[in-house]
Amino acid sequence: MLTRLSVSILAAFAIASAAAAEGYPSRPITIVVPFAAGGPNDVLARLVSDHISRTLAQPVLVENAVGAGGTIGSARVAKAQGDGYTLLSGNLGSLGAAFALYKKIGYDPREFASVGMLAGTPNFLAVRKDLAAKTLAEFIAHARANPEMVTVGNAGLGSNAHLVCLYLESLAGIKLRHVPYRGTGPAMKDMLGGQIDAMCDSAPNVVPSSWRGRSALWW
């Protein structure tokens, strides 16, 4: 296991006052996922949206606003009215690392109020099935023998998938070629199709693939 991904639901400020004023919720709620459909943030948001909808007796919509490592969708929520009807499914990359990696991201962490933690999931290194390396040691040896030639997909600069693979590089003393996507879902599709060699991603996105024999995983 390389690290853990924390996924949180956040909203703009003033939720409490809005709820008191109009009997929250009185209309549909939107959860903005700042990554493409099919990734871990998207999967978790859709799971929790169903539960929220049944509990509050209001429709809960999940909307993907992708790009720039999750910062585009996050900025959209930061600019939304602080009434509790626009929520953000964020993670370590979009809510933490982005502030160190991007000069201008269009929002400040103080513009959000934490609603709750959705999940903490283990991250895995996954590779395309036909890659010669079949163990972590073999992958590291392969990367050392081919510096900056092994391609790894991620959800954009500063995304969790990007940071985890950077951490692996640091620990193993290797150099990988990072390929940004608009989400880990599209990256996973390309890896399974052989367009890229590997990716670092969380369990919801990669474990089902391994069960079907489409990729290899290492703790």
Residue 89: which residues within 8 A CB-CB, separation 6 or more? 7, 8, 9, 31, 32, 33, 34, 41, 42, 44, 45, 118
Counting residues of the chain whose pLDDT is more than 70, the rounded percentage is 83
Residue 74: which residues within 8 A CB-CB, separation 6 or more? 32, 34, 88, 90, 94, 95, 98, 105, 107
Please check the confidence at residue 212 and state whether its pLDDT lies above 60: no
12 with 102, same domain: the answer is: yes
- pLDDT at residue 15 in the model: 45
- pLDDT at residue 209 in the model: 45
34 with 139, same domain: the answer is: no
What are the helix (H) ranges across 8-158?
15-22, 40-56, 71-79, 92, 98-101, 136-145
Kind and range of the H or E run holding 184: helix 184-192
Cα separation, 34 vs 132, whole angstroms: 34
87 with 110, same domain: the answer is: yes
The structural domain count of the chain equals 2
Last residue of a domain, one of 93, 120, 147: 120
130 with 33, same domain: the answer is: no
116 with 144, same domain: the answer is: no
- pLDDT at residue 9 in the model: 62
> Amino acid identity, residue 186?
P
pLDDT tens for 153-187 read: 988 777 778 888 999 999 999 999 999 988 788 88
Q: How confident is the model at residue 22 (pLDDT cuts 50, 70, 90)?
A: low
186 with 135, same domain: the answer is: yes
140 with 103, same domain: the answer is: no
Q: Which domain holds residue 150?
A: 122-218
12 with 115, same domain: the answer is: yes
- pLDDT at residue 216 in the model: 40
Please check the confidence at residue 208 and state whether its pLDDT lies above 60: no
Q: What is the largest CA-CA distance in the chain?
A: 63
Q: Mean of the pLDDT values across residues 103-126?
A: 81
Q: How confident is the model at residue 54 (pLDDT cuts 50, 70, 90)?
A: very high
Last residue of a domain, one of 120, 140, 175: 120
Contact 84, 24 (CB under 8 A): yes
Beta bridge partners of 12: 112
Cα separation, 145 vs 128, whole angstroms: 18
- pLDDT at residue 163 in the model: 85
146 with 38, same domain: the answer is: no
49 with 91, same domain: the answer is: yes
Domain of 71, CATH number, reads 3.40.190.150
Cα separation, 125 vs 134, whole angstroms: 11
Please check the confidence at residue 142 and state whether its pLDDT lies above 60: yes
Last residue of a domain, one of 90, 120, 150: 120
pLDDT tens for 90-114 read: 877 777 777 777 778 888 877 788 8
50 with 116, same domain: the answer is: yes
Q: Mean of the pLDDT values across residues 138-149?
A: 96
Burial letters 130-146, b for 16+ CB under 10 A, else e: ebebeebeebbebbeee
Domain of 165, CATH number, reads 3.40.190.10
- pLDDT at residue 136 in the model: 92
